[in-house]
Structure 1
Amino acid sequence: MTIIELFKKLLQFKSITPDDAGTFEFIDEYLGNEWECIVSDYEDVKNRFYYKKFNNKNQHLCFGGHIDVVPAGSNWDTDPFEPLEKDGQIFARGAQDMKSGVAAFLYACKHTEYFDGTLSILLTSDEEGDGIHGTVIALEDLKKRNFLPDYAVIAEPTCEKVFGDSIKIGRRGSINGYLTLQGIQGHAAYPERAVNPIHLISTILPNIASHRFDNGDESFSPSVLTITDIRAGLQVTNLTPDKLNLMFNVRNSTKTNQESIKDFIDSEFKNIDYTFRMTQSSYPFITSASSKMVKKINDSIYKTVNIRPQYSTAGGTSDARFFSRYGSDTIEFGVINDKIHSINERTSINEVENLTKVFSNLIEDF
């Protein structure tokens, strides 16, 4: 089976989160008996950790990813789960995010004859969903077994314009804020008898909207408060509302945390009756540009396509945050990211073949 045949096979599975749709049964058969497997399923989520110890050297490189995809949606030109090859491109749901990456490292690992240590693959069916029963569950299991990887490559799509132009050496965190301003309901004709929370926040909004908590640095852009929702009132014109709900998000660097955000909110709303809470769905991380992991993937990309990638921490969250939290030097590298989650998602045959070569070269030279 060629890499493109493997890629097309994976795309045929309708593996919408958290259903693997038979994908893992196929991968079990594809890798064969030479690879051991640790199962860390949680309720309806399936997690698989495949590994092969080539020798007893204390060096463990893991490739991570997810086999689940978002729903296809409507108005595709073709069946989203019947991959179509056209003009050097392959169209299907998950082509970029991220069955191209999964196919590439499965093929590279299966065809590895020697590695100086342990080679592994961690896959989940719960990355596009809540993500709380997927990779993090498998890594917790590995921690208990004292078998966490030293290095990790997450094959999410990372390139911007041409294959090889960007890798992610970190990610920003994500902090969500929920604010409720309490007022006093009343008739709009008698504003002096009411406390209008919309009026209360009107003078504060310019201070908090797009507020920068830090200036960023060479690795991270500034941590900015983005207001995502404001709600008040009962959709009538003669009633002053009794409360206002506001939600915001901060994609934070390592310079900003929940405490600094809370201090800012407290200072801005100190004279108002309000309640406030925060949640953090992910924490920022950075892998040093001088680390072995970054240097090796950089060299492998250059060896394959003669490009030195830029280092990035942009974008949303990924399962890379879990690997980093458990102590693995982690990077992300995959195909061009321009059609993920969209109608007629696609990636090129050339990218998939080159990604496979990058991973093969990485393993060989590690």
Structure 2
Amino acid sequence: MHKLDTIELFVKLLSYPSVTPNDEGALTFIRDYLDGFEAEWINRVNVKNLFLYKKFGEGPHLCFAGHIDVVPPGDGWGSDPFVPKFENGFIYARGAQDMKSGVAAFVQACREAEHFNGTLSLLLTSDEEGDAKHGTIEVLKYLEEKNFLPDYAIVAEPTCEEVFGDAIKIGRRGSINGIIEKIGKQGHAAYPEKAVNPIHKVAQVLPYIAGVDLDEGDEFFAPSKFVITDIRAGMEVTNVTPGKLKMMFNVRNNTKTSKTDIESFVDRYFKDMNYILTLNQSAAPFMTDKASKIVKAITAAIKDETGIDTKYSTAGGTSDARFLAEFGVDVVEFGVKNDTIHAPNERTTPEEVEGLKRVFDEVIKSF
């Protein structure tokens, strides 16, 4: 396939209406565009996953990872979200920041790579914005079976805050969802002594748990906070006290707080009550050592391209980087500015996409 320039490639990828879990042909296009790379499909259920690799030498295995799927466009767009629009120095389209900019940059950098002391690979999925059960994690399981896991990885999610180059992510908080069911005894509101009102019981402990920090955080992580998201009880009548209360909460946990810590925290305040606790860890926290080769390499490349001493961040939600970390891969995230992701009129600039590609060029060259 003939070579495009970086922005032509970016526009091409933006034109695919690849709402999760569909890739709409984008992954096949990338496979054909990187015809010098070996390609393997690791498809699961209704999700397409593509792994491309090229062995240049006997050195380390560096992987660029990302997703081709996007969230639904929603309402409020000034133009067709899958017909890229150039206006006032911006490119508007769904996926412009999250994360077809990153995919275009590393696909182009890998296509142009002529020398590398090791193996270059690309891991692409159409299942990141959804449940992420059949995407990156399935590819990593497959690579582990083949003894071909990467040593280092860059996930090209949008990370920058104010200007391009000002932040990379070297870790992410985890996410633990919880439900507390406080069992009481239903009764007549006129005879509270004959009932056990779970609302009254829980109200006594709310000041000690609502919005409380579960640890102090550290240099890179904010404290893990106990965030109550829903409380409900009763039958929406005024003369019956409820027999049960259900409270939902979320903890975006750093590496200092675990599920076991949360169980102990809840029991400290509910141990004298009849309660049931259910916890589900949807994402585990991770941290890549700032002295890792990949952190140093991308930090230096950003400095060369932008002149900025980039910040090491762990802010935000989750990404597929957590799966790479789970498999022992040193992983960082770096991409364009993150200020319109998932919003109407998502946009980025050609300069940022081209700058991102040059950063990846430098990492490949210097690694």
TM-score by length of 1: 0.98
Amino acid corresponding to residue 53 of structure 1 in structure 2? K
Deviations 1:109-141 (A, max 9, x none): 001111111000000000000011110000000
Superposed CA RMSD in Å reads 0.8
Corresponding residue for residue 284 of structure 1: 285
Counterpart in the other structure of 2:80:
79
Which of 26, 29, 33 is equivalent to 1:26? 29
Matched residue, 2:51: 49
AA paired with 1:3?
T
- Could you tell which deviates more after superposition, 276-285 or 151-160? 276-285
- 1:43 aligned partner, one-letter code: V
Q: Which residue of 1 aligns with 2:9?
A: 6
Aligned equivalents of 1:21, 1:236: Cα separation in 2: 51
The C-alpha deviation readout for 1:193-237, integer Å capped at 9, x for no partner, is: 221111110011110111211101112111111111111111222
Q: Distance in 2 between matches of 1:235 and 1:125?
A: 43
For residues 311-326 of structure 1, the aligned pairs below 5 Å read 311-326=312-327
Match of 1:40 in 2: 42
* 1:25 positional shift: 1.5
1:268 and 2:274 equivalent? no
Aligned amino acid, residue 49 of structure 1: F
Distance (whole Å) between structure 2 residues aligned to residue 233 and residue 279 of structure 1: 25
Alignment map for 1:215-254 (pairs within 5 Å): 215-254=216-255
Identity within the alignment, %: 57
| Whole-Å separation in 2 of the counterparts to 1:195 and 1:148 | 56
SS at match of 1:219: coil
Structure 2, unaligned stretches of length 5 or more?
none
Map 1:1-366 onto structure 2 (within 5 A). 1-32=4-35, 34-55=36-57, 57-366=58-367
Task: Give the superposition deviation at 1:62.
Answer: 0.3
**Deviating more after overlay: 234-243 vs 154-163:** 234-243
How far apart are the structure 1 equivalents of 2:163 and 2:335?
11
What is the CA distance between 1:297 and its match in structure 2? 0.2
Q: Which runs of 4+ in 1 moved over 3 A?
A: none
Mapped to 2, the partners of 1:92 and 1:64 lie a distance apart of 21
Give the drift of 1:318. 0.3
How many Å apart are 1:65 and its aligned residue? 0.4
Alpha-carbon distance between aligned partners in 2 of 1:237 and 1:65, rounded to the nearest angstrom = 53
Structure 1: 5+ residue runs without aligned partners? none
The alpha-carbon deviation at position 108 of structure 1 amounts to 0.4
Specify the code of the residue in structure 1 equivalent to 2:6: I
| Amino acid paired to 1:115 | F
Tell me, in whole angstroms, the C-alpha distance in 2 between the residues paired with 1:228 and 1:2: 47
Which AA in structure 1 matches 2:37?
Answer: W
Matched position secondary structure for 2:33: helix
CA distance in 1, matches of 2:320, 2:28: 22
Instruction: Tell me, in whole angstroms, the C-alpha distance in 2 between the residues paired with 1:46 and 1:4.
Output: 25
Q: Give the counterpart letter for 1:159 in structure 2.
A: C
CA distance in 1, matches of 2:89, 2:331: 31
1:223-254, CA deviations, whole angstroms, 9 ceiling, x for partnerless residues?
11111111111122222111111111111111
Greater displacement, 133-142 / 170-179: 170-179
Give the drift of 1:58.
Answer: 3.5
Distance, in Å, in 2 between the alignment partners of 1:286 and 1:25 is 33
Q: Give aligned pairs, total.
A: 364
Distance 1:231 1:332 in 2: 39
3-state SS in 2 of match to 1:29: helix
| Cα deviations by residue, 1:269-317 (Å, 9 ceiling, x for unpaired) | 0111110111101111111111111100000001111111000011100
With normalisation by structure 2, the TM-score equals 0.98
Measure, in 1, the Cα distance between the counterparts of 2:9 and 2:92: 15
Rounded Cα–Cα distance in structure 2 between residues aligned with 1:283 and 1:199: 34
| Counterpart Cα distance in 2 of 1:2 and 1:238 | 71
Give, in whole Å, the separation in 2 of the partners of 1:125 and 1:337.
20
In the TM superposition, residue 363 of structure 1 has moved relative to its aligned partner by 0.4
Q: State the distance in 2 between where 1:325 and 1:58 align.
A: 22
